Amino acid sequence: MDKNTKTSRRSFLKGSVALAGVSVAGAASAKEADPLITEVQEWASLTGAGVDETPYGLPISFEKDVVRRNVEWLTASPISSINFTPIHALDGTITPQGCAFERHHSGAIELRKEDYRLMINGLVDRPLVFNYSDLERFPRENHVYFCECAANTGMEWAGAQLNGAQFTHGMIHNMEYTGVPLRTLLNEAGLDAAGDLKNKWVYVEGADASSNGRSIPMEKALDDVLVAFKANGEALRMEHGYPVRLVVPGWEGNMWVKWLRRIEVTDMAVESREETSKYTDVYDDGTARKWTWVMDAKSVITSPSPQMPITHGQGPLVISGLAWSGHGKITRVDVSKDGGISWETARLGKQGDSKALTRFYLDTNWDGKPMLLQSRAMDETGYVQPTKNQLREVRGENAVYHNNCIQTWFVNENGVAENVEVS
Amino acid sequence: TRDGAFGLGRGAMPEEVAAWDVDVLPDGRGLPEGRGDVFTGDEVFAEKCASCHGDFAEGVDNWPVLAGGFDTLADKDPVKTVGSYWPYLSTVWDYVHRSMPFGEAQTLTADETYAIVAYILYSNDLVDDDFELSHENFAEFEMYNTDGFVIDDRPELEYSNWRTEPCMEDCKPSVEITMRATFLDVTPEGGGDSVM
């Protein structure tokens, strides 16, 4: 294909997109034959890209809006900041790594496998140093888990603030991890020196300047925590902790220490900055909860939502969303179209995995009238996702973290959706 | 041979553990020997910290405020600083020593860190201007909000109430919109800046 052909092909495609939009919307009532069908299209005649063109591909250009976004005013510096997964545009449960949210405290660092070291020390029989290839020689496991920032939805405590599911609920991703149970590594170092494990802790920290040190009780460390080096089949992305991160199923994302470099067995919690100044939740009487590790059951309707208006008019409508719980499996999601007066039980895309995102659908018929859409998750412990008012009654408005309230989208008669609170 | 099940990895050497294991526990364990007074801390702070945190640790622009905010935790907008909120002095020393200054972490000596911490305490009116902090008097110091924290009590206060069969029909008589995000208009234009 010569240069000129390429140019003309590109401009032709541009025109076709607009045309396709019209014909999709009008397909059911078309009076004239659709030229996209009756005329031979360029892609049905000429050739496409060769297999040698893209050794590692990115999404097609038409999907360029499905990207991470940030909100500048949230933080003082983009180096210690957050961005948001475009959950409004995704489906299923697995988050593509390339648009999975980031949260760093001193930036995303570049750490080669050759330079990687992991130390285990403290109350262990044999303080050890592993290099990366040592880790790949331990027996591995695969698990899918959500990683939700403790601050997800945190800007919404005092009211409806950001207009889009990406911004209100997008500090989350869900990946299939491959790694070694932390328990295996602790056993390699030997825990006899720690004595009674009941009141023991592991302190975990990263190789970056912020270190992000956190204390984890030994019971959790020996349960399901993973030292992971693959996500969604490939190496971790740099921004997600390459080459090794901690996976702490069901627990707040801050504890999922990236670029993991040290695990120390201790006889008390370190009470580091990230578990005193941050990741503690202030009540309205001024006292604060600490060690609020678990992320409670939560859900959000991803479409329709402010970034995903209804554009097809009345008739069949798929209401789609995500539900998850740090306590185990999602067993049920109810959806309301009238702001919580009445509820219908939605259909789960597939049976919920423990501590992982679960997709739900409500296949409904839209009559063109305004709706107040809500979703309400239930998990296998019987916990029912609360309203924001229920949460505020217990906690006030300054908790910052752990806002798992029911979200409301107001959808008007034009199908445009807005983030609102309701009585 | 070692006792480990797989025999992978190698023994960590004492100097390696010393290089990386620098955390300080609330009881002061992990602190190196050293000392620093408020006067010295003022100078070091002016040179290495004040461009973001202000001359008096009051914070510049959006950068964290380190001093003040006492008795505001129950207010509508609490001011959570080292003085008003942080429960342990160990955390201040540990965090400053390992992760500050922002962009130039792990450049402070033990004595500089003692001095900076002493200055932050002074900025919070918690010590006099002749105060000297050292590994010897560190554990005696009591922070203002040490007792301000409770261990996660969601199981008692929330889970016990919210594990019930939820209402499905006629759950409330009416519903009204009480707040709208578009009134605030703080969402980035065009759905936000792409950060790819």
| pLDDT of amino acid B189 | 63
- pLDDT band per the 50, 70, 90 thresholds, residue A137: very high
CB-based contact B195 A67, cutoff 8 Å: yes
Interface of A with B in 20-39 (CB under 8 A): none
> What is the average pLDDT score of chain A?
93
Give the CA count within 13 Å in the CB-facing half-sphere of B143. Answer: 27
Give, as one character, the DSSP assignment of residue B158. Answer: I
pLDDT-derived band at B2 (thresholds 50, 70, 90) equals: low
Residue-wise pLDDT tens digits, A254-303: 999 999 999 999 999 999 999 999 999 999 999 999 999 999 999 999 99
Residue B1 confidence class, pLDDT cut points 50, 70, 90: very low
User: Which single residue is written with the structure tokens 């969303």?
Assistant: A321
If DSSP codes are grouped into helix, strand and coil, which group holds residue A225? coil
In the numeric block, the tokens 């009674």 are attached to A196
Is the CB of A280 less than 8 angstroms away from the CB of B20? no
Bridge-based pairing of strands A226-231 and A260-266 is unpaired
Question: What's the predicted TM-score (pTM) here?
Answer: 0.93
Shortest distance, CA A20 to any CA of chain B (angstroms)? 23
| Strands of A337-390, DSSP E | 344-345, 347-348, 358-366, 371-379
User: Per residue in A12-46, pLDDT tens?
Assistant: 444 344 434 444 444 556 789 999 999 999 999 99
Q: Quick one: which of A225, A154, A220 has its CA closest to A391?
A: A154
Q: How far apart are the first and last CA of chain A?
A: 61
Q: Which of residues 363-392 of A touch B (CB under 8 A)?
A: 372, 376, 378, 381-384, 386, 390
Give me the total of CB pairs closer than 8 Å, taking one residue from chain A and one from chain B: 275
- Cross-chain CB nearest to B3 (options A137, A190, A284): A190
Per-residue pLDDT at A5 exceeds 80: no
Higher pLDDT, B87 or A20: B87
B 1-60 near A (Cβ less than 8 A): 2-6, 8-12, 16-17, 20-21, 23-27
B181–A306: do the CB atoms touch at under 8 Å?
yes
| % of residues, chain A, pLDDT over 70 | 93
Checking if the pLDDT of A84 tops 60, the result is: yes
Which residues of chain A neighbour B159 with C-beta distances below 8 Å? Answer: 381, 383
Q: Cβ(A177)–Cβ(A242) under 8 Å?
A: no
Residues in B touching A88 (Cβ below 8 Å): none
Mean pLDDT within B99-115: 97
Convert the pLDDT of each residue in B125-140 to its tens digit. Answer: 999 999 999 999 999 9
| Residue range B21-54, pLDDT digits in tens | 999 999 999 999 999 999 999 999 999 999 999 9
- The dihedral built from the CA positions of residue B180, B182, B186 and B189, taken in this order, carries a sign that is positive
B150 touches chain A (CB under 8 A): yes
Task: Give the nearest chain A residue to B28 (CA atoms).
Answer: A270
- pLDDT at position B184 is 75
User: Which A positions 74-113 lie with beta carbon below 8 A of chain B?
Assistant: 75-77, 79-80, 83-84, 105-106
Average pLDDT over residues A352-370: 98
